[in-house]
Structures are given as structure tokens and as C-alpha cells.
Amino acid sequence: MNFLKYTLLSAGLFLAMSLSTAFAQGNEQQKAEYKIGDNWYGLPDAKIFQEDYDGPPVVGNHITKLPNVAPLEEGNQTHDIRMDIVAQEVEVAPDIRYKAWTFGGSVPGPVIHVRQGDKINFTMKNRSHEKVSVSQPAKGGSMFLEQLSNNNMQKPKAVAQPMMHSMDFHAGTVAANDKWQNVPPGMSIQFEWIANYPGVYIYHCGTPPVLQHMSMGQYGVVIVSPKEGYPTDEQVDKEFAVVQSEFYLKQKQTEEDSSLYEEGGEKPTSLYELDYDAAMKKQPTIVAFNGHQNAMMDNPLKVKKGDRVRLYMLNVGPTDVASTHVIGAIFDRVWYEGNIQNEWRGMQTVLLGASNGAVLEFIVPENGHYVLVDHEMADAEKGAKGLIVTENESK
């Protein structure tokens, strides 16, 4: 009887062990990378951890400030990218400043350029509780920080705004509850994603209410160049990235803040804050290209007569659509969302919903001024205007 008991017990134990091994293997298999067609899926779980990091908030190659786009080397590679969350008081129109929540120190955040098939090893520390300066290029930091310190219409001042945040790369195909999870102030996240599809993608904070986090400035663009390139790569003379976004702001009621006063001056500058009611009503105060009402008016994109110009265009929203047009030009080629399968020709205007992107190309017909506009004229009046000028023309 005892023997029978022992045998049954052993068999039971063995069965339980076998089952748990099979289950573990099943889990392993679920987590292992796998391929469907040319695309990779199934990446390791995100890691949330504490790190003693106070270095440059943006690190990595091929990361630039709008409207610059970094060139890529041949072939696929793994990109080690760091983009920390920092809060900065920024100017988004003459005399309009607010305390923004940012990726990397500007609104929009940095331009990330990768190639289809590349792996991105991404690290992000939520430093919203620290005052992190981005006005000096930092040693070991990306090209973005150098460009930011050279010409920065936003004139950022480091501020502390502790808040939970997250990162959602539309260019990644992952379990959102894992990779895009919330990161508390002082904590870091690390995860991988693979650029399976070419395109012009938004990245943004996905922490609810997303309307609030995006309206505060947490978004940017990832350009994933097709593996085989665009058919016109050889003919393109100039390329720029342009990001359209809305700001919902109202004048701040309390004016006790010392940052209201210009350094050494008497004149108070106007500090604004998020107008969430206006955001809910879809009534933007400012609609801007590249983060400032005058970004492209004061610093026009420089081209030459006969150039084939490529714009990597993203409409962030967070809520409005963009009817993108260049006055005096026709988009000779359009790749909607930046995918070469989605080709249009001879477009006067390209409609971009919130979070849609496109590659837009046109020929500069003659010397002169060309204005990129959101042809929804109320949005153009609110700032969605940008100059493209031939080099021999002054503004």
C-alpha cells in the first residue's frame, strides 16, 4: 500500500515537474524573437530600474533637432538611444512661454532617424523632478544637444515638474502595456523595438490623460527610411523634417514666479499654462511648425531653383488635422505615412490626421518664396506657416 502511495506520489510529482518545465519553455518561446515575412516580433520585457545617471539627456547617433535629418550609413544596425524626460520653460510664440514637459529638452523632441530592419535599444530616465539644463552641448551627448544650444528659439530654462510619464513609439510593434508603461519620476525604463515598417512616425507620452501630456509638449518624430530607399533618393537635393502641433495655453493667473522676470531686466515676460478646457474643445491658441510660431518664418528652409525638396512631415495633433500645402508648388511625389507602397502623384494638398505622417516632394520652380501652410486657414492664422526660400532671395 505504501509502495503504491509512493509510486503515485512520484508519478504525480514527475507530471507536475514536466508540466511546469513545458510551461516555462512555452513562456520562453513566447518571449523569444520570431519572424513573419521580413518582420521581427517578440522582444524581451521592458526593464524598470533606478540608475545613478546625471549625464546628457539625449545620447545616440542620428538624433537631430528639427528641421535637420541625420544621414544614415549603409545597412542595418542597432541604435543605442537615450532620451530622458525633462521639464523646461519654453517660448512657443513671441512673448508666450510655458513650463513644458519634454523628451530631451525641446518641444517637439528630437528627430530620430533609423532604417527599416534596425533595432533600437532605448533608455529613458524620468528626470521631471530635476532641473536639467539643455542650453550647453554636453560631452557624450547627441548632435541634437549641440544643435539645440546653437539656435534655440524656445530659449529653454530648466524647471522641475515631477510627474509620471511614458513613451509610445508608433514605429514600434510591441505589447503596449509592457514597453509603453508608466515611469515614475527618478526611475528609468529600458526596452527594445525593431523598425519593421518604413515611415514617418510620431512618438509621444501615453500617460493618461494623453491629451494633457501631449498638449504639454511630449512628442516628436521618428523617420524610418525604407530598406531599399525611396525611388527618388538619388535626385533629392534638400531634405527637412517638419512637425506640426497645437498649443492650448492661457495666461497664468498667479505671477509670483521669479522666472517671469527677464534676467537683469524689469520687464516681466508672459508665462502661460495649459488651457485644458480649450484642448477639450479643440480650440488651439497656437498651431506651430517645429515648436515655435516663427520657427520657419525667422529661419526659412533654404533651397535652390530646380531643387527636388523632400519634407518628412508629421502632424502631431494632439487633436486637429492638417491640410498640408506649399504655396506655388505641387507635391510631385507623396508617400503617405512614408511607406513607398502608398505613392501619390501631383497632390496640391495632403490631409494628415492627428499622428499621420508623409514624405512630400516638390520641385522648386523658380527663385522666390514658397510658404508651407496648413490650408485650414484658421490654423495658418494661428501660426501654421513656414517659409521656404531660394538662397539668393532675402526674406
d(CA 274, CA 165): 17
Q: Which three cell numbers stand for residue 175?
A: 505589447
Q: Counting contacts by CB under 5 A, is residue 334 touching Cu ion?
A: no
Nearer to Cu ion, 115 or 165 (CB): 165
Contacts with 305 (C-beta within 8 Å, 6 or more apart), sequence order: 364, 365, 366, 367, 390
> Considering CB under 5 A, how many residues would be counted as binding Cu ion?
5
CB of 207 to Cu ion, least distance (A): 4
d(CA 91, CA 360): 28
Residue 91's closest CA among 222, 247, 224, 257?
247
Q: Counting contacts by CB under 5 A, is residue 102 touching Cu ion?
A: no
Nearer to Cu ion, 205 or 316 (CB): 205
- With beta carbons less than 8 A apart as the criterion, state whether 388 and 371 touch: yes
Place of cell 533600437: 120
CB of 394 to Cu ion, least distance (A): 41
Please give the C-alpha separations between residue 159 and each of 89, 99, 127, 131, 259, in angstroms, as whole numbers.
6, 7, 10, 5, 10
Interacting span for Cu ion (CB under 5 A) from 130-138, 175-183, 207-215, 323-331: 207-215
CB of 165 to Cu ion, least distance (A): 3
Site string for Cu ion, 215-234 (x = CB under 5 A): ---x----------------
Contacting Cu ion (CB under 5 A), which of 100, 145, 189, 205? 205
d(CA 6, CA 12): 10
Nearer to Cu ion, 274 or 360 (CB): 274
* DSSP, res 270: P
Please give the C-alpha separations between residue 262 and each of 114, 266, 269, 368, in angstroms, as whole numbers.
40, 7, 7, 38
Determine if residue 346 is left, alpha or beta; phi over 0 gives left, psi from -120 to 50 gives alpha, anything else beta. left
Q: Counting contacts by CB under 5 A, is residue 308 touching Cu ion?
A: no
Contacting Cu ion (CB under 5 A), which of 207, 245, 290, 319? 207
Q: Counting contacts by CB under 5 A, is residue 161 touching Cu ion?
A: no
CB of 111 to Cu ion, least distance (A): 19
Nearer to Cu ion, 145 or 183 (CB): 183
- With beta carbons less than 8 A apart as the criterion, state whether 129 and 274 touch: no
Q: Counting contacts by CB under 5 A, is residue 213 touching Cu ion?
A: yes
Instruction: Residue 132: count other Cβ atoms within 10 Å of its Cβ.
Output: 24
CB of 58 to Cu ion, least distance (A): 17
d(CA 9, CA 229): 63
Q: Counting contacts by CB under 5 A, is residue 88 touching Cu ion?
A: no
Nearer to Cu ion, 104 or 117 (CB): 104
Nearer to Cu ion, 193 or 203 (CB): 203
d(CA 220, CA 144): 13
* DSSP, res 389: E
Interacting span for Cu ion (CB under 5 A) from 67-75, 164-172, 276-284, 302-310: 164-172
CB of 149 to Cu ion, least distance (A): 24
Q: Where are the alpha helices (DSSP H) in the chain?
A: 2-31, 143-150, 176-179, 210-215, 276-280, 295-298, 377-381
Contacts with 74 (C-beta within 8 Å, 6 or more apart), sequence order: none
CB of 392 to Cu ion, least distance (A): 44
Q: Counting contacts by CB under 5 A, is residue 165 touching Cu ion?
A: yes
CB of 204 to Cu ion, least distance (A): 8
Q: Where are the alpha helices (DSSP H) in 113-252?
A: 143-150, 176-179, 210-215
Interacting span for Cu ion (CB under 5 A) from 2-10, 47-55, 161-169, 299-307: 161-169
Interacting span for Cu ion (CB under 5 A) from 17-25, 45-53, 210-218, 376-384: 210-218
Nearer to Cu ion, 67 or 217 (CB): 217
User: Which residue is closest to Cu ion by CB?
Assistant: 205
Contact residues toward Cu ion (CB under 5 A) are: 165, 205, 207, 213, 218
